[in-house]
Amino acid sequence: MELDYHPELRDLTIRRPQLKLLEDVPSPDWVVDNWETVKNFQAKPDDLLIATYPKAGSTWMQEIVDLISQNGIELIEKMAFPRVIKTHLPIQLVPKSFWEQDCKAIIVARNAKDSLVSYFHFHRTCHLVPEPGAWREFFQRFMNGKVSRGSWYDHVKGWWEAKDKHRILFLFYEDIKENPRREILKVAEFMEKVLEEDVIEKIVHLSSFKVMKDNPMANYTTVPMDIMDQNISRFMRKGEVGDWKNHFTVSQNEDFDEHYERQMGHSSLKFRNVL
């Protein structure tokens, strides 16, 4: 279940959205125009929020959480409770009721360069975001925080700063790639679930890129072509760490690093080196 996906969207003719400001965060007009509904969302205490900047692996985490809830069994009908609610909202825009109800939240953060590359390809494919334009233009807009959902830098720093104020588990995409079993166990512990060894193995297997890529429940192939044209680029595209090297020029990399240092240098949030 996606927090800021409005049900009426299904009935609308799909056209690329305009970006509008939600407070100061550029967001698709279909989010902004339905904002009152999202803002007034009534969370329940056992709701579990998965929050990420786009392309950090939210679908991956959703699959892991679903598999943990269901003891490694894939059910066609998702269980009703606990509700797992996915969002790309920055911390300051999350409906207040989540914190009033002291809900738990899992955050997945992915290094900026791979997030940028993945987001570019997603824009080429998905009509729920504006046209990406050329790579070099998108690259600049991402650095300036002028893309849908705003600044990657503010988003990850905001959630990082909130992690000790709420019941938040903060994970990194690169860590899940490195050792999925270790990170899955962290999620299970956070969800207060004890898993048998064979169930853990099943979850590691079913949530691997290879299996999810061919799983229609996870690879978005059930989404109509006029919303997501996967002939252009698959949703489950590469699932790798360091793909940015195939896209950044040397001078783009220098500009990016310099800008990154200015945005992130003072933060205690450190991403691993993805060279």
Task: Give me the residues that bind ligand A3P (CB under 6 A), please.
Answer: 52, 54-60, 114, 118, 121, 207-209, 212, 236-239, 243
**C-beta closer to ligand A3P: residue 149 or 157:** 149
Q: Buried b vs exposed e over 29-38: b needs ≥16 C-beta within 10 Å?
A: ebbbebbeeb
CB of 216 to ligand A3P, least distance (A): 14
Min dist. Cβ of residue 58 to ligand A3P (A): 3
The residue behind tokens 């429940």 is 217
* CA–CA gap between residue 153 and residue 84 (Å, rounded): 25
C-beta of 72: minimal distance to ligand A3P in Å?
15
Q: Which is nearer to ligand A3P, 42 or 199 (CB)?
A: 199
Catalytic-residue membership of 88: yes
Residue nearer to ligand A3P on the CB measure, 101 or 211: 211
Q: How far is the CB of 172 from ligand A3P (least distance, A)?
A: 12
**Which residue of the chain is nearest ligand A3P when measured via CB?**
239
Considering only CA atoms, which of 214, 243, 241, 246 is closest in space to residue 230? 214
CB of 40 to ligand A3P, least distance (A): 25
- Nearer to ligand A3P by Cβ, of 58 and 252: the residue is 58
Nearer to ligand A3P by Cβ, of 56 and 156: the residue is 56
DSSP 8-class letter at 48: E
- Amino acid identity, residue 8? E
As measured in angstroms, the least distance from the Cβ of 125 to ligand A3P is 10
Whether residue 39 contacts residue 27, with contact meaning beta carbons closer than 8 Å, is answered with no
Nearer to ligand A3P by Cβ, of 98 and 244: the residue is 244
Choose, from 88, 121, 123, 155, the residue flagged as catalytic. 88
CA dihedral over 26, 28, 29, 34, signed as positive or negative:
negative
Contacts 24+ apart (CB under 8 A), 23-30: 23/92, 23/93, 24/150, 25/90, 25/93, 25/149, 25/150, 26/145, 26/146, 26/147, 26/148, 26/149, 26/150, 27/148, 27/149, 27/150, 28/128, 28/129, 28/130, 28/148, 30/6, 30/128
Residue-wise DSSP of 169-228? EEEEHHHHHH-HHHHHHHHHHHTT----HHHHHHHHHHTSHHHHHT-TTTS-TTS-TTTB
**Could you give the residue numbers annotated as active site?**
88
